[in-house]
Amino acid sequence: MNGPIAGQEESGATVSLDAHAVGAEAQARFLRNVSLNFVGQVLPILVGVASLPFVVRGLGPARFALFSLALLMLGNTTLLDIGLGRAVTKLLAEVHAHTVDVDPAAAFWTALFLHVALGVIGTIILLAATPLLISRTFGIAPALQTEAKWSFVVLALAVPVVLVGSCFRGALEAIQRFDLVNGVKIPATVALYALPVVLLFGGYGLVAIMVATLVSKGLVGFAYAVLVRRTWPALQRVVFDRGMVRKLVSFGGWVSAANVTGSALGYVDRFLIGGALGATALGYYSAAVDAVSRVFILPTSVVVALFPAFSRLEGGRKELHDMFGLGVKILIFSLLPLMGVLLAYGSPILHLWLGPDYATHSLAVFDIYVVGALINSLGWVPFAFLQARGRPDLPAKVLLYETPLFALLLWMAIGWYGITGAATVWGVRVVAEVLLFFWLALRVDRSVLDSLRRVPVLGIAVPTLVLGVLVLVQAVLPAGYQLLGLGLMALGVSATVIGMWRVFLEPAERTALLSLLRLPTR
C-alpha cells in the first residue's frame, strides 16, 4: 500500500493544529467575555443595593414609585427595536468573520436609521399617552402630577437615545469587544444608581434625577459611537440600503416576537395569582421568584457572549459544536453546586432575608424555582444558537404556541394548589421548553451535541447524586447538628467542583478557563 505523499501529511497536521488553536482561542475569548459580562452586571447591582435606602428616603414612597416605574420603562425600551439590535449584531459578526459578503456600513447605518425612526415614534407615542398615564392608568395624586408629567417627558426623550446607543453597542458585541462594552457600561450603570443620591443630597428632586439619567444615557451612546469609530473604521461611511431593511426586519421580527412573548410568559403567573389569590399570596410567590432570579445573572452573561460567537462560526464546524458544549458545561459547572446550596439552605436564607412568614409560605416555590432555574438556563444556549444560525422563528414559535396552554394550566393549578401549583406548572413548562430547544438545535445541525456526547455519564450523574444526598441530609439533621451539616456540605460541594473539573470538563476547556486572565483582547 502506498503511503501518503510527504507534504500531504505535514499539511494536514498543520491544518489540524491551526484549527485546534483557533478553537482554543475562541473558547478562551468566550469565557473572558462571560467574566466581563458577569462583572458588568454584579458591580452595578451592588451599588444599586447600597444606594437604594438613600433614594427611597430622599424621594419618599410616591416619588420613588414613579422613579422605579420610569427605570422599568427605560430598561424595556429596547423591546421597541423589533429585534433589529439582535439582527445587526448577527449580521456584523458574520461580516467581521468573513462568512457572508455584505457591506458592513450598509448593514450598520440602515439599522441605525431604523433605530432612530423607531425611537422617534416611541417618543411621540409616550408624549401623547403621558396625560392618560398620569391621570388614569397610574392614578398619580394631583400634587405630584406636574412633576410626573415632566418626568415622563424626559423619559420620552430618552427612548431614541437608548435605542441608538444599543445599536452602537451591538456593533461592538459583534466583534466581541465586551471589554469596551463593559468599560462603558459599568461606570455608566454605577452612575445611574449613584447620581440620584448625589442630587438628593444637593436638594434636587425627581425631574433633575430624570434629566441626569437622560444625559447619562446620551453619554453612553456617544462613548459607544466613538469606540465603534475607532475599532471598526469601515463603519464610518454612511450608507442606507433599502434592500437591507427587509433582511433586518425579517430576522428582527421573530426576535421581537420571542422577546415580547418571553416577557409575557414571565409575568402571566403573577397576574393570575394576584387576581385569584390576592396580594398576600402574590407577595409570597414573587419573593421566592425574585430571590432565585438573581441566579440568572450568569446565564445572561453567557448568552450575550455566545450569540456573536455562534454567529461568527460557520455551521457544521467542530469549533461551533465545541462552543455550544462549552456554553452548556460552564452553566452546569457554575450553577449545579450553587443549586445544591440553595436547596439545602433555602429555609434559613428566606428566614434571614425576608422573615419567618416568607420562610414558611415561600419555601416550596423557592425550591421548585431553584431546580427550574438551572434547567431553564441550559435552554438559553440552544435559544442563542438557533437565532445565530438564522432560525429565530423556531424558538419564537415555541414560545408563541406554549403561551395559551401555559396560561390555562396555570389558571387550573392556582385554583387547585395555590402558589405551589403555579410554580410546578412553571417547572413543567421549563423542562418541556428546554427539551424542545435542544431538539430544534439538533434538527438545524445534527452534530451540535457532539461535544456533550463526549461527556462521561458519571461526570454529571455522580455530582448530582452527591448534592442530592447532601440536601436530604440537611433536611433530616436534628437541631444542634447544623455545624456538622455545614461541614458536610462544604466538603461535598468542594468534592463536586473538583470532580466536575477533572471529569466533566475536557482538557481544552480547562485550559481555556485557566487562561482567562492571560488572553489578550483583540
Cell of 205: 428632586
Top-confidence residue, 133 or 228? 228
Top-confidence residue, 506 or 416? 416
In Å, what is the CA distance from 128 to each residue of 164, 210, 445?
22, 19, 47
* pLDDT (0 to 100) of residue 18: 45
Average pLDDT (389-412) is 90
Percent with pLDDT over 90 in the chain: 6
pLDDT above 70 for 400? yes
Question: CA-CA distance, 169 to 81, in Å (whole number)?
Answer: 14
* pLDDT (0 to 100) of residue 12: 41
140: DSSP letter: -
Average pLDDT (381-407) is 89
| CB 321 within 8 Å of CB 450 | yes
* pLDDT (0 to 100) of residue 24: 63
* pLDDT (0 to 100) of residue 31: 75
Q: What is the pLDDT of residues 58-76, one digit of tens each?
A: 777 677 777 777 776 777 7
Top-confidence residue, 323 or 437? 437
Question: CA-CA distance, 77 to 122, in Å (whole number)?
Answer: 9
* pLDDT (0 to 100) of residue 5: 34
Q: Cα–Cα–Cα angle for 404, 408, 413, nearest 5°?
A: 145
Question: CA-CA distance, 291 to 353, in Å (whole number)?
Answer: 10
pLDDT above 90 for 493? no
CA dihedral sign, ordered 68, 69, 74, 76: positive
Q: What confidence category does residue 522 fall into, taking pLDDT thresholds of 50, 70 and 90? A: very low
From the CB of residue 521, how many other CB atoms can be counted at a distance below 10 Å? 12
Cell of 304: 450575550
* pLDDT (0 to 100) of residue 140: 66
Percent with pLDDT over 70 in the chain: 87
Considering the chain, what is the average pLDDT of its residues?
79
Q: What confidence category does residue 206 fall into, taking pLDDT thresholds of 50, 70 and 90? A: confident
Q: What is the pLDDT of residues 93-121, one digit of tens each?
A: 877 776 667 788 888 888 888 888 888 88
| CB 252 within 8 Å of CB 86 | yes
Question: CA-CA distance, 44 to 77, in Å (whole number)?
Answer: 19
**Residue 376: closest CA among 437, 322, 467:** 437
Of 376-390, 394-408, 461-475, the least confident = 461-475
* pLDDT (0 to 100) of residue 306: 79
pLDDT above 50 for 45? yes
Q: What is the pLDDT of residues 138-190, one digit of tens each?
A: 666 677 778 778 888 888 888 888 888 888 888 888 888 888 888 888 888 88
Place of cell 414612597: 61
One-letter amino acid for residue 115 of the chain:
H
Place of cell 458591580: 43
Question: CA-CA distance, 389 to 310, in Å (whole number)?
Answer: 7
* pLDDT (0 to 100) of residue 315: 53
* pLDDT (0 to 100) of residue 347: 82
* pLDDT (0 to 100) of residue 171: 85
Q: What confidence category does residue 17 fall into, taking pLDDT thresholds of 50, 70 and 90? A: very low
Q: What is the pLDDT of residues 429-456, one digit of tens each?
A: 999 999 999 999 888 888 878 777 787 7
pLDDT above 60 for 16? no
Question: CA-CA distance, 416 to 240, in Å (whole number)?
Answer: 57
Average pLDDT (330-358) is 81
In Å, what is the CA distance from 103 to each residue of 54, 95, 245, 522?
50, 8, 13, 22
97: DSSP letter: T
Top-confidence residue, 497 or 8? 497
**Residue 43: closest CA among 157, 236, 192:** 192
* pLDDT (0 to 100) of residue 434: 93
| CB 22 within 8 Å of CB 319 | yes
**Residue 117: closest CA among 88, 142, 81, 89:** 81
Question: CA-CA distance, 501 to 516, in Å (whole number)?
Answer: 16
| CB 269 within 8 Å of CB 421 | no
Q: What confidence category does residue 33 fall into, taking pLDDT thresholds of 50, 70 and 90? A: confident
pLDDT above 70 for 362? yes
pLDDT above 80 for 405? yes
pLDDT above 70 for 236? yes
pLDDT above 60 for 521? no
